[in-house]
Amino acid sequence: MTKNGITEKISVTLPRELAGEIRNLVPQGEVSAFFTKALEHYIALKRQKIALKRGFGAWKDKNHPDLMTPADSSEFIYSIRKNDRSSALHVNENKNAK
């Protein structure tokens, strides 16, 4: 349930309707695991939003003149994917040769 196995019991107050939904959806004995997974997911989303806010405005067009249009971006992505496919094929060929 946790990465290091250490847990802590806490008390949380929920709206009655939400508590009822949880009781209906989650088998008895699995509520802690349910909350752990839900909160890990929620925390990851919050961290992602914070990172996106901090990074907003970091992209400057003057630093990327080769990616000014949607067509430029599409071509760039295509080239990356093409290189990835080539690399993957090369790795698979090496595995099969052994």
pLDDT tens string 6-29? 999 999 999 999 999 999 999 999
Report d(CA 57, CA 66) in Å as an integer.
18
* Residue reference for tokens 């806490």: 10
Same domain, 21 and 41: yes
Domain count, the chain: 2
Same domain, 31 and 12: yes
- What pLDDT is recorded for position 32? 94
Report d(CA 30, CA 86) in Å as an integer.
45
Q: What is the pTM of this model?
A: 0.57
What domain range is 93 assigned to?
61-97
Same domain, 75 and 32: no
Same domain, 37 and 83: no
Same domain, 91 and 52: no
More confident residue, 89 or 40: 40
Same domain, 17 and 52: yes
